Amino acid sequence: MQQPELTKEAKEERLNEIEAFVRAMVEGIVPKPMRKGRGRPVVLPTLCLWAGFLVGVLRGLGSQAAVWRLLAVHGLWDYPRFDVCDQAVRNRLAKGGAEAMERFFDQVTAVLAERLLPYADATLASWAAAVVALDETTLDPLARKLPSLRGTPAGDDALLPGKVAGLFDVRSQQWRKLKWVEDVRANEKLRARSMVEDLPKGSLVLADLGYFGFEWFDFLSGAGHEWVSRLKKKTSYKVRHVFYEHGSTLDALIWLGAYRSDRAAKSVRLVRFTHAGQQYEYITSVLAPRQLPIADIARLYARRWDIELAIKLVKRELGLHLFWGANTEVVQAQVWAAFAIAQILMGLRQEVAARAGVDPFEVSMKLLIEWLPRLGHRGEDPIEVLVKYGRRAQIIRPSRRLKTRAPTIRDEDIVPLPPDLPLERTPRHSHRKCGPRTK
C-alpha cells in the first residue's frame, strides 16, 4: 500500500532530526571554531562554512545565496551570525569546495568503517577478503535556466555536469571508494582498474554487464581477485567439464571465447538454472562448486543491486538532481556532500539491521530516519530500542526485494575436476563484440 505524503510540518521535523545527526558527525570530525585568542578573528570558520553547505544540500536550499543567508541572516545552529557578504561565500565555495567536501566524505567514511566493522555481514562469501559492487551513475542534467546555460540546446553535453564511479562494500553497506568523472561519454571500463586497485587480494567483485569483457575478467583474476557476472547474450564459449547437469540446471567449466581471435586466458565456471519460468546464467572465476555453490552465486549477484539502491538514496531522497549553478567546483561539492550524508544514513541502518539479525533492507530507511533521533532525545539508546521493538513497530519488516531461488546441489553429485585439465591458455583480446554461442 502506498504511504501518504508527509505534511510540511512532518517533513520539517524529519529534516531537523537528520540535521542533528549531521551536526554530531561534523563537529566530531572538524575542530570547533575558536571564539577567543590572539590574532585576527576568523570571520567565517571552516566548520561553519562546510556545515552550512551540508545543511543546504540536506534541505535543498537551491542556491549558494541561500547558504549565505543561512550563515549571515538566519544563523546556523547555536553559532553567531557571520558578517560576510554573499560574494565572499560564493568565492570560498568556488575555491576549494569540492576538495573540502571530498575530504569530509573520506573522514566520515573512515569513522564509520571502524564503527561498522562488527556489523558487517560476514555470511556473504565468508572466504573473500571483501565483497564489493562496481558501477557508475550519470548525474542529472543542469537546468537550462541557469544564466551561463541559457539557450543551450536540450541534450547538449554542456548540460551534463559529470558522473560518479563508485565501489560499494556490500557487507557493510558503505561506499568504499568514489571517483568524480567529468567526461560523461568516457567508457566506464577505462576506470575500472583504478577503482579496484586498492582492494585487498582475494576480494570478490560484483559488476554489471557494462563491465563485461574478457580482458577485464583476466585482469581481475591476475590481480588476485574473484568475480561474479551475468553471462552476456551471444557470448561464445566452449564447455570443458561438467560438474553437474540435470534438467535446466548446469554447473560447468568453460573457456570464454570459442574462437582464436577473441578468448580469455583463464577458465571460468558457468552456472545456469530456471526460477519462476526465467532462465538465469552467471559466470564466475571461483572454480570450486563447493566453495561457491549455485545458490550462493544467485544470492551474491542479487546483492549487486544494493549499489543501485544506494545511488537512488542519493539522487532521489537527498535531491542530487537540483544543482546550484554550472560551476564545476560547486557541483562536485554538492555531490560529495550528498554522498557523505547518505553514508551516515546507511551506516545507521546497517547497525540496526546487524544487531537485530536481519537484512539491512528489512529496516525501513524512512522510519529509521523518523524515529532514531526521537528516541535519542529521550535519553535512551535509540539503536538498542529499535533492535528490541523494531518489529513490533514495523520499522523492521519483510523486504519487498525479489529473491531469486537457485537449486541446491549435493556435494556427492558434483563430478570432480580432472587433475590434469589445463586451466589457462594464451589470451587474445580483440576488444570486439562476442560472436554467436557455441558448445
Confidence label for 72 from pLDDT (cuts 50, 70 and 90): confident
What are the cell numbers at 285? 572465476
Cα→Cα distances 377→1, 146, 382, 384, 387, Å: 31, 41, 9, 14, 17
**What whole-number distance in Å separates Cα of residue 422 and Cα of residue 253?**
11
- Helical H segments across 268-423, by residue range: 294-302, 306-312, 328-356, 365-377, 382-389
**What whole-number distance in Å separates Cα of residue 290 and Cα of residue 410?**
9
Closest CA to 267 of 405, 421, 416: 421
Tell the burial category of 142 from Cβ atoms under 10 Å away from its Cβ (0-12, 13-18, 19+). Answer: buried
Look at residue 319 and tell me whether its pLDDT is greater than 70.
no
pLDDT at 41: 47
Spell 283-295 as b/e; 16+ CB within 10 A means b: bbbbbebeebbbb
pLDDT at 434: 40
* Bridge pairing between strands 204-207 and 226-230: parallel
Look at residue 384 and tell me whether its pLDDT is greater than 80.
yes
Strand arrangement, sheet containing 268-275:
174-181, 163-169, 131-138, 204-207, 226-230, 278-284, 268-275, 249-256, 237-246
**CB distance 371 to 348 below 8 Å:** no
Strand partners, 294: none
Look at residue 74 and tell me whether its pLDDT is greater than 90.
no
pLDDT at 97: 78
**What whole-number distance in Å separates Cα of residue 412 and Cα of residue 394?**
43
Confidence label for 84 from pLDDT (cuts 50, 70 and 90): confident
Highest mean pLDDT among 63-77, 359-373, 374-388, 409-423: 409-423
CA dihedral 79, 84, 86, 91 (to 10 degrees): -100
Q: Write the pLDDT tens digit of every residue in 226-241.
A: 999 999 999 999 999 9
Rg (CA), the chain: 25
pLDDT at 17: 61
Look at residue 422 and tell me whether its pLDDT is greater than 70.
yes
Look at residue 265 and tell me whether its pLDDT is greater than 70.
yes
Average pLDDT score over residue span 125-132:
97
pTM of the model: 0.82
Strand partners, 244: 251
What are the cell numbers at 391? 518489529
Q: Write the pLDDT tens digit of every residue in 21-63.
A: 677 777 776 655 545 555 444 567 777 887 787 777 777 776 7
